[in-house]
Structure 1
Amino acid sequence: MSAPGERLIYGAGPVRELIARRPAAVRAVWVDPHRAGRSTSDPVAAIVVAARAAGLRVEDRDRRALDHAAGPDARHQGVIAWLGAFAYTELAAMVAAAAAPALIVALDGVEDPRNLGAILRSAYLLGAGGVIIPEHRAAAVTAACAKASAGASELVAVAQVGNLVRALDELRERGLWRVAVDAAPGAQPIETLDGTLPLCLVLGAEGTGVRPLVARSCDFHAVIAMAEDRGAIGSFNVAVAAALALYEVSRQRRTRDSR
């Protein structure tokens, strides 16, 4: 049985959100017929109705086929959406489309597609306008990334650039302040950063962090404080650090808007 796409996402919530927001990204939807035939109070049955209304191909597949496609231990809930090759966004278009004040994430050498997927998920949920990744020596938006993102890879813009330093320079020209999220000497606590400014949060790979050349292109350095005497095991996972940094910026912006 050949797969109708190169990548997939699974689970009722992610598939429903994708069909509602970007149905054109979906090549086919596989469903468990035992759930799809129930009343629309069942999430999978409701997804079938929405998919057909959007003109999408819906195919019944037994539990074994769904388990095999989604992979070991995946909680697909009886529904899988198949996707085509990923379409990256141009950097200029990403910035232009971002809600003001812009919030962009740039990743320097993050190689684990699961970390990238988790970062895309946080970026989408916390209101970022997009994520920038290098073309070389970094994870791309692959099938593993799409799975880890729970569908967010299709809902947040991703720009793949040949030179991250040049991309950061372009962001500065477009009015964004570049913030390296790291523990460099003199880094300010992230809660003291003015999150209401147009920002690009720059995060590096675990172990190496933001490379010096990239760090020199940043306007600020911000550190996420850990509890005292808890640093012996190392720093935050990059996906966790991204989520914490994005949350802090989002929190500040919500506070400002509520005044």
Structure 2
Amino acid sequence: MARVVYGVGPVSELLERRPRSVAVVYVHKPDARVAAAAARRGVDVQVRSRAELDALAGPGARHQGVVALAGEFAYADFDDVLAAQPSLIVALDSVQDPHNLGAIVRSAYLLGADAVVVPKDRAARVTAVATKASAGATEHMPIARVTNLARALADAKRAGMWVVGVASHPDAQPLSAIDATDRLCLVVGAEGSGIRPLVQRACDRFVEIPMAGAAVGSFNVSVAAAIALYEVARQRVARGA
């Protein structure tokens, strides 16, 4: 089944990182960046009407006049992720909004995470929307899909990682209590419901982000993930890790 990727940045990153998966790139007007990337990789570029691109990308998609058709997204194998001795993983528990998935992948990539792991069921997949929201980071960041997230977290612990839930919890410590010298798997929960009880039981500890205001509930999950990732990156830079 063909995967649609749209937007100048995401399509350019796709051409650079996974060129063999790209069947064709459609453009409304020639774009120098896309044309150069396609020419380097020998990928066909065809001109199409804006209406045709709108139909391919889907309602409301901001495709910037560039749409690619590619093979299905290549998810990473979680066993391979752990075998690479990662120092930082982000696990998403049932995050269903592809915009949030893409935003988290973008932050994870920019702030030094080694991989993102998501459940196969009741969770967003890497779609055109997620890829666009990630600004193309989905083409650089290993993303693993697992059947059972709690079991995957147990595997991470056996591989020497500390599993840290980012959530309000009776035992939660301030976010600054994270020890970034550890190999970490940060867990963030679904919009609204948070981290499920079964997944909570797989966590070694919990940290929460301090909030000055209480009138609007909590941080969006992608914002919470970015703040937690930044704290880890900040500590590691400060310590020269």
After TM superposition, is the score higher than 0.5?
yes
Partner SS state of residue 8, structure 1: strand
1:184 Cα offset (Å): 0.5
Q: Distance in 2 between matches of 1:97 and 1:10?
A: 31
Whether contact under 8 Å (1:178, 1:220) holds in the other structure is: yes
Which of 73, 82, 86 pairs up with 2:69? 82
Q: Is 2:4 the partner of 1:21?
A: no
RMSD across aligned C-alpha pairs, in angstroms?
2.0
The equivalent residue for 1:45 is 32
Q: Is 2:177 the partner of 1:192?
A: yes
1:73 Cα offset (Å): 4.3
Q: Per the alignment, do residues 170 and 154 of structure 1 end up closer, same or farther by CA in structure 2, a change over 3 Å counting?
A: same
**Residue identity opposite 2:143 in structure 1:** V
**Residue identity opposite 1:56 in structure 2:** V
1:72 Cα offset (Å): 4.3
Q: Distance in 2 between matches of 1:239 and 1:22?
A: 26
Q: Distance in 2 between matches of 1:121 and 1:184?
A: 27
Q: Is 2:112 the partner of 1:112?
A: no
Q: Is 2:149 the partner of 1:153?
A: no
Q: Deviations over 1:2-32 (max 9, x none)?
A: xxx6332322222223322332332221123
Q: Per the alignment, do residues 81 and 124 of structure 1 end up closer, same or farther by CA in structure 2, a change over 3 Å counting?
A: farther
Q: Distance in 2 between matches of 1:10 and 1:85?
A: 14
Whether contact under 8 Å (2:6, 2:128) holds in the other structure is: no
**Residue identity opposite 2:4 in structure 1:** L
Whether contact under 8 Å (2:10, 2:132) holds in the other structure is: no
Q: Deviations over 1:59-114 (max 9, x none)?
A: 1123332233334444333322222212221111122346x5x1111111222222
**Residue identity opposite 2:172 in structure 1:** A
Unaligned residue ranges in structure 1 (runs of 5+):
37-43
Q: Is 2:126 the partner of 1:130?
A: no
How many residues end up aligned between the 2 structures? 241
Which of 137, 141, 145 pairs up with 2:126? 141
**Residue identity opposite 1:149 in structure 2:** S
Q: Per the alignment, do residues 85 and 17 of structure 1 end up closer, same or farther by CA in structure 2, a change over 3 Å counting?
A: closer
The equivalent residue for 2:43 is 56
Q: Is 2:155 the partner of 1:170?
A: yes
Q: Deviations over 1:221-240 (max 9, x none)?
A: 0101111xx11211111111
Which of 24, 27, 34 pairs up with 1:31? 27
Q: Distance in 1 between matches of 2:20 and 2:226?
A: 28
The equivalent residue for 2:211 is 226
1:173 Cα offset (Å): 0.9
The equivalent residue for 2:54 is 67
Whether contact under 8 Å (1:29, 1:81) holds in the other structure is: yes
Runs of 4+ off more than 6 Å = none
Q: TM-score, normalised by structure 2?
A: 0.90
